[in-house]
Structure 1
Amino acid sequence: MPSPYSYDLRIRALKMIDEGIPITQISKLLKISRDTLHRWKNRRDHTGDVKARFGYQTGYNHKISDMKEFQKFIDQNPGKTHQQLADLYPVEMSAKTMGVWIKKLGYTDLATFF
């Protein structure tokens, strides 16, 4: 994800809007899309500020948090299918996800059906 525009640039663009300069002209001058300028203006009108949002990107939460514990679980349940292992594992996951994590451990492919 690209980094947000600086706060100073946002303030400068909004001052230009307040001075009556057309948004199209500001867009060309500062090389910022018109939609972005409209969003900044609306955000300022609603919240009173135009700071960039942060903290909303949570990233991907992996199903397996402790690989050693997972490897121990796999070693304790030999000969079971991916679906059986997925059903037994305390965290809910699909058989496909179970197979992907088993492969990450370096084990050969276990049976997926009888």
Structure 2
Amino acid sequence: MARPYSYDLRQKAVEAVLNGAKLVEVSELFGMSRRPLQRWLKMWSESGDYRPKQNYQKGHSAKITDLEEFRQFVEANQSRVDAKRNGSHSRGKSYNRWSSP
């Protein structure tokens, strides 16, 4: 994931627009698209700040929250896990990359 723009850059860009510069001019000056500027201006009007979100995770958490449910899942899929460990190929053929054909 791309890093958020710095607070300093956000501050300069938003202040430039608030002081009368056009979005297109500011976006070209700072080398960015207009969309982040529009978001920051919206954030500024709603909350008075335009800091990047902290502790924001996009997508699913990889953390196992219900250990018992996870155990049941593993038990239900044990044959697939064993097949992977033993080197079985997805088409049912035994596959071992270290042995000769």
Q: TM-score range by the shorter chain?
A: 0.5 to 0.7
Residue equivalent to 2:96 = none
Residue 36 of structure 2 corresponds to residue 36 of structure 1: yes
Structure-1 separation of matches of 2:37 and 2:79: 46
Length-normalised TM-score, structure 1:
0.58
Between stretches 47-56 and 36-45, larger displacement belongs to: 47-56
Amino acid at match of 2:5: Y
Structure-2 separation of matches of 1:26 and 1:97: 57
Q: 1:51 to 1:107 in 2, by over 3 A?
A: same
**CA deviation digits over 1:7-61, x for unaligned, max 9?**
0000000110011000001011101111110000001111111110121216542
Structure-2 separation of matches of 1:46 and 1:27: 21
Residue equivalent to 1:80 = none
Q: 1:39 to 1:96 in 2, by over 3 A?
A: farther
Residue equivalent to 1:51 = 51
Runs of 4+ deviating beyond 6 Å = none
Q: Secondary structure at the match of 2:52?
A: coil
Shift in Å, 1:93: 3.4
What does residue range 10-29 of structure 1 map to in structure 2 within 5 Å?
A: 10-29=10-29
Alpha-carbon RMSD across the aligned residues, in angstroms, is: 3.3
Q: How many residues align?
A: 84
Structure 2: gaps spanning 5 or more residues: 89-101
Structure-1 separation of matches of 2:87 and 2:39: 52
Residue 62 of structure 2 corresponds to residue 61 of structure 1: yes
**Identity of aligned pairs, percent?**
28
Length-normalised TM-score, structure 2:
0.65
Q: 1:7 to 1:108 in 2, by over 3 A?
A: same
